[in-house]
């Protein structure tokens, strides 16, 4: 499997987060996807303290930095992108869909530090927060329920940025059993069916074709073919043995 | 902006979930991405009750269905996919990365119902759960921290499936037999094997998984499934008749 994209240049900025569980969830997703820089702007004090002291709090959380202003939190970043559910608001910034902006964001991440901003659970980012952003990012969701949970939104964004690009050459086709093996299976299965009374007199040829086509469509890999042949052989053995 | 992909054919199955917050988070992500069918297999009772009665519990949660077995929860589904972090385990199923499997999954969703299984927070899905699956799906994460939070994993999977996809031009996947039919075939085939002396004493459970996985991998279309079931039934009928 190809490696994840490197996200060492990504900075996650949580602005005025209220819920310690969300801070923890964001940190966990960051750890999953190899993102180390977490910055909190004016977090609800209790949220930050509780999240930090939670059992299993990640290194991400322990190394998180606190800032008083968005400007301070993004000062060393070359590209600033705000996230928004995008409802009920006249946006003065270009709004891009995450699934369409992934490639461009990955390119920026190769060139320099990128900040991704997430607002508070209740109101998201404000227009003042947006004023620090080059453009805005939205996760495409259903019109009737656009607002995602903060920890889930962070996870989805990181997944998109870490994916190895939209169009990898697809994996090689899995190996298939040789035709000779399929033929063996067909013959043995046909005998089992014949001994079971499945094959009507006069329909032998039609039944043979039917069985062969069916076995072809199983598209067995070599290992499965061996196993299945063994199974059918065992049944034939029993059916022969018991013949009157 | 292009619309989200339709996910009306997707069924999310949570197996033995412990934490009510995770059940709620999964339901919220489903609501965000327009997925309505939530099924729980043996959830921790308290988790299900608390999640359902939570403030703001979504329609998804209110309409969630409870099942005793994985087989029951996926009986009407044509493709069954299990999710796994993929660590420390010898997998007997093909393992695909979410970012590479998205297109194929979207094609299946156009053709019929698809179940996506998520295991418990602590141990994930078991090998027995896996035996109901056609293949397994993993979210690519950092090697040192592969295990994602359940609610976040659900959100990431749904995001991938709902994205409008880079290459939707390819043909829809051919129709597949419902899992219930595959389960029938497995049971009848197992009886045939048992009556043929194929099943060694003490290996019944292993053999059952083996047969189920094999039948899954046949990837039968509905017509072939009917034909093959008829064949195996005929063999069982004969094997029964001649007994003793």
State how far the Cα of B168 lies from the Cα of B128, in Å rounded to an integer. 34
According to the model, what pLDDT value does residue A35 have?
A: 94
- Predicted pLDDT at B170: 45
In chain A, residues with a C-beta closer than 8 Å to the C-beta of B151 are 25, 149, 151-152
pLDDT range class, residue A51, cuts 50, 70, 90: confident
B163 touches chain A (CB under 8 A): yes
Stretches in chain B below the pLDDT threshold 70: 1-3, 55-57, 87-89, 164-173, 242-244
Q: Please list, in sequence order, all residues whose beta carbon lies within 8 angstroms of the beta carbon of residue B114, skipping any fewer than 6 positions away.
A: B9, B10, B11, B77, B78, B79, B80, B81, B105, B108
From the list A229, A202, A203, the residue with the least C-alpha distance to A215 is: A229
- Cβ atoms of A12 and A153 within 8 Å: the answer is no
Query: In a mutagenesis test of the B interface, which of A31, A95, A145 is the best target, namely the one with the most B β-carbons within 10 Å?
Result: A145
pLDDT reading at A243 higher than 80: no
Alpha-carbon dihedral B62, B68, B70, B76, rounded to 10 degrees:
-60
Residues whose CB is less than 8 angstroms from the CB of residue B4 and which lie 6 or more positions away in sequence, other chains included:
A140, A141, A142, B33, B34, B162, B163, B164
Tell me whether strands A10-15 and A114-118 are parallel, antiparallel or unpaired.
parallel
Cβ atoms of B118 and B12 closer than 8 Å: yes
Domains located in chain A, CATH noted: 10-162 (3.40.1280.10), 179-241 (no CATH)
* Alpha-carbon distance values, B51 to A14, B19, B23 (Å): 27, 9, 6
What percent of chain A is modeled with pLDDT above 70?
90
Give the pLDDT confidence score for residue A168 in this predicted structure: 39
What pLDDT is attached to residue B94? 86
**8 Å CB contact of A29 and B218:** no
Torsion on CA atoms A155, A161, A164, A168, rounded to nearest 10: 100
- pLDDT score recorded for residue A27: 94
- Residue B239: what pLDDT? 93
Q: Per-residue confidence at A142, pLDDT binned at 50, 70, 90?
A: confident
Instruction: Give the pLDDT score at B143.
Output: 83
Chain B positions touching A164 (Cβ under 8 A) are 99, 140
Q: Which residues contact A223 (CB under 8 A, 6 or more apart)?
A: none
The SS3 of residue A89 is coil
The first and second tokens of residue B21, run together, are 């917050």
DSSP-based helix, strand, coil % in chain B, nearest 5: 50, 15, 40
Summarize the confidence of residues A233-241 as an average pLDDT: 92
Q: What are phi and psi of A241, to 5 degrees?
A: -55, -40
Average pLDDT over every residue of A79-98: 83
What's this model's pTM, rounded to 2 decimal places? 0.78
Out of A105-109, A178-182, B93-97, B130-134, pick the least confident. Answer: A178-182
B85 touching chain A per CB within 8 A: no
Confirm if B145 and A32 have CB atoms less than 8 A apart: yes
Whether A118 contacts chain B with CB within 8 A: no
Residue of B nearest to A152 (CA): B152
Q: What is the pLDDT of residue B167?
A: 42
Q: What is the pLDDT of residue A166?
A: 44
Mean pLDDT of the region A208-214? 86
CA dist B67 and B76 (Å) reads 13
Q: Does A10 score more than 60 pLDDT? A: yes
Q: Supply φ then ψ for residue B15, to 5 degrees.
A: -105, 120
Positive or negative, the CA dihedral A98, A78, A34, A65 is negative
Q: Does B21 touch chain A (CB under 8 A)?
A: yes
Q: CA-based angle A211:B242:B195, to the nearest 5?
A: 70
- Please state which of the ranges A6-15, A130-139, B160-169 shows the lowest mean pLDDT: B160-169
Buried b (16+ CB within 10 A) or exposed e, A89-110: eeeebeebbbbbbbeebbebbe
Which residues in B25-88 belong to E strands, given as ranges? 37-41, 65-67, 79-83
pLDDT of residue A167: 40
- How confident is residue A86, by pLDDT bands cut at 50, 70 and 90? confident
Mean pLDDT of chain A: 87
């Amino acid at each position: 499997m190809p490696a994840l994209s490197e996200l060492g240049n990504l900075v996650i900025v949580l602005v005025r987060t209220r819920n310690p569980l969300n801070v923890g969830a964001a940190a966990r997703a960051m750890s999953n996807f190899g993102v180390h820089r977490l910055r909190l702007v004016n977090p609800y004090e209790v949220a930050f303290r509780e999240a930090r002291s939670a059992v299993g709090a990640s290194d991400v959380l322990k190394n998180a930095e606190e800032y008083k202003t968005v400007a301070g939190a993004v000062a060393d970043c070359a590209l600033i992108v705000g996230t928004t559910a995008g409802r009920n608001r006249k946006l003065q910034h270009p709004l891009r869909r995450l699934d369409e902006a992934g490639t461009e964001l990955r390119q920026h991440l190769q060139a320099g530090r990128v900040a991704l901003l997430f607002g508070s659970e209740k109101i998201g980012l404000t227009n003042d927060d947006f004023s620090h952003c080059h453009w805005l990012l939205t996760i495409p969701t259903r019109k009737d329920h656009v607002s995602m949970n903060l920890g889930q939104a962070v996870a989805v964004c990181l997944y998109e940025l870490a994916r190895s690009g939209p169009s990898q050459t697809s994996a090689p086709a899995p190996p298939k059993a040789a035709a000779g093996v399929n033929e063996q299976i067909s013959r043995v299965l046909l005998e089992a069916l014949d001994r079971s009374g499945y094959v009507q007199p006069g329909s032998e040829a039609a039944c043979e074709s039917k069985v062969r086509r069916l076995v072809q469509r199983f598209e067995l890999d070599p290992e499965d073919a061996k196993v299945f042949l063994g199974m059918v052989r065992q049944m034939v053995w029993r059916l022969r043995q018991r013949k009157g």
